[in-house]
Chain A
Amino acid sequence: MDAISLIVRSIFVDNMIFAYFLGMCSFLAVSKNVKTALGLGIAVTFVLVLTLPINYLLENYVLKAGALAWLGEEYATVDLSVFSLLIFIAVIASFVQLVEMVIERFSPSLYASLGIFLPLIAVNCAILGGSLFMQQREFANIGMATAYGFGSGIGWLLAIVGMAAIREKLEYSHVPKPLKGLGITFIITALMALGFMSFSGINI
């Protein structure tokens, strides 16, 4: 039950894009049509779901203060949390590379449609942000961490697909010239974020 409420919360209330602005760069750049937006959204969700549990294990059994206690008494005071950033990003980057190779080998058609976005995911702030928030919130177990990853990924997917749909419709409207493209995208995102704020404060 906790896991479900966490998923719902991270989709609507703590939405990666509208509440924390994470993954904005690719959100703005790749939201021009629904199909590619959907592909990127799925890829991001996939990587989030896979990297969060790994980073959770690393955080709790290697990095946190006293996390190395399982190695023996003398390690109980070791605190490696300074390195968490390095480890997290290394896990994410190597994971993205791994996923890229696996997809390339087993499903060339999916690879062709995701191709360019896959390497981009390594530097998508939403992924690293997920790991850092996981560290900050100290989830109770690995299941919760995975649920959080899944929820955040779906939230991100929802946002980028919605945005792409609006931008496709926007083709037919008269936007002031200097606002065209980037400017209006920012303003739409702001309005969408205002809409999503109505979810805040909901306790499920």
Chain B
Amino acid sequence: MATATINKARAGTRAERIPSFAKNAKMGHPRSKNSTVQPGRFGVYGGRYVPETLMAVLEELEREYEKAKCDRKFQQRLDELLRTYAGRPTPLFLARRLTQKLGGAKIYLKREDLLHTGAHKINNCLGQALLVERMGKHRVIAETGAGQHGVATATVCALLGFECVVYMGTEDMRRQELNVFRMRLLGAEVRGVESGSRTLKDAINEAMRDWVTNVRTTHYLLGSVLGAHPYPTMVRDFHRVIGKEARAQILKAEGKLPAEIIACVGGGSNSIGIFYDFIKDKKVRLVGVEAGGRGEALGEHAARFRGGLPGVLQGTYSYVLQDSAGQIATTHSVSAGLDYPSIGPEHAALRDAGRAEYVPASDAEALEATTLLARTEGIIPALESAHAVAEVLKRAPKMKKSDVVIVNVSGRGDKDIGIMRENLEIE
């Protein structure tokens, strides 16, 4: 029978309760001595905060990715798929009527919306899918918010013959119905997630639970520059092509670098993709646009830099919208792809270093920008990308006519037609 009894006469002290093994008293971990030089760190942000079961597979993924990066055949195959399957390079389009209407800076649009599957997400999906093939795995899982990453994942899985399971919050399934059907048509299984706010964050939780269970056979094709190392670095590298192309294209068209680059930031994959090759060009202002939602109170928006604090969510240390007890806050945005309480760790570092600035655009501003871009240029942007467009509407009129701005149109609006119809009063 039990020997532990309540109010036992021989009251144990802490020293008695804890066995002391002197040889286990080693401090810390040698690699942790200077966290800023660890791989996967961006300043103090990033890292690898996951249950132990996932540590080995993350180490394996990091090794495989490092090998693939130096493998010319891998790179050639990826380049070829990006060109012949995804439709790269994407055009850099001069938006003449929008420029005229705003009367200031010359506005160029980077047309990621023209890619196969309708958004930049395919860049990363093709890259990771080729890695899955290298690692000899056959089952792929993913999370999706707006459904664009889910569709891109389902697409590459069909292309390479992998089993595909996509986790999606049921609230997002409702607002992105069309993408749910597209994924199923492509042969993927879409699993609805009922927990929490039933959006992107909850879909990631469920994907992580699947991964921790099926880690030996399954690759988690994470869709943004989030999560544990190596994801933020690897996903950024697969999207770097956006900025690389844009830099060459603008130099060719204008003979100079742009004054500003504007992109929306959910997790931050399209923005880091277009920013990255301009980071060294100190005169180019980098502007990330977060979801300002419908108000400034916690829960009404997804602007992490307007009320978030550094913390750990889903594997990485970055700015997180949270309450005073460290519980993660709910978020709101009209755009499912920006509706997430944390932000890629590299963005946190760029912001702290003052290299990039981050501003919010509200639901209403994004919807208004959608209509304006549709009517001036004949381009219906995704509601995510519309946040970037909303920011250029504020900035361009105040800039000189000789200035050049690039806006990343990360995706097209087809998937959002239902929401636009609900929210826009169009006769």
- Whether both chains belong to one complex is answered with no
Residues of B participating in the A interface, judged by any CB pair closer than 8 Å: none
